[in-house]
Amino acid sequence: MSSTHPIGIFDSGVGGLSVLRVLREQMPAEHVVYFGDQGHVPYGARPMAEIQKFSEGITQFLLEQNAKIIVVACNTASAAALKYLREKFSDISFVGMEPAVKPAAEITRTGKVGVLATPATFQGALYASVVERFGAGVELFQNTCTGLVSEIEKGELDSQPTRRILEDALLPMLEKNIDTVVLGCTHYPFVIPLIQEIVGEKVRVIDPAPAIVRQIGRLLEMGAGRNTSSLKGEVQIYSSGDVTKVQAVLPILLREHLKVHPVNWVGNRNIVLV
Distance CA 252, CA 32 (A): 19
145 noted as active-site residue: no
- Beta strands 204-206 and 260-266: pairing type? unpaired
Smaller CB separation from ligand DGL, 52 or 76: 76
| 96 and 215 Cβ atoms separated by less than 8 Å | no
Active site residue: 17, 51, 71, 74, which one?
74
* Among 23, 41, 174, 182, contact with ligand DGL (rule: CB under 6 A): 41
Using DSSP, state whether 246 is helix, strand or coil.
helix
In sign, the C-alpha dihedral spanning 112, 116, 117, 118 is positive
Please check whether residue 58 is in contact with residue 271, taking contact to mean a CB–CB distance below 8 angstroms.
yes
Contact between 99 and ligand DGL by CB under 6 A: the answer reads no
DSSP state at residue 6: P
Q: How far is the CB of 138 from ligand DGL (least distance, A)?
A: 21
Which one of residues 7, 9, 11, 105 is an interface residue with ligand DGL (CB under 6 A)? 11
Residue 12, interface with ligand DGL (CB under 6 A)? yes
Task: Tell me which stretch binds ligand DGL (CB under 6 A): 70-78, 98-106, 108-116, 122-130.
Answer: 70-78
The answer to whether residue 121 forms part of the interface with ligand DGL (CB under 6 A) is yes
Q: Binding to ligand DGL by residue 187, rule CB under 6 A?
A: yes
The answer to whether residues 149 and 169 touch, using CB atoms and an 8 Å cutoff, is no
List of residues contacting ligand DGL (CB under 6 A):
11-12, 15, 41-44, 74-76, 118, 121, 149, 185-187
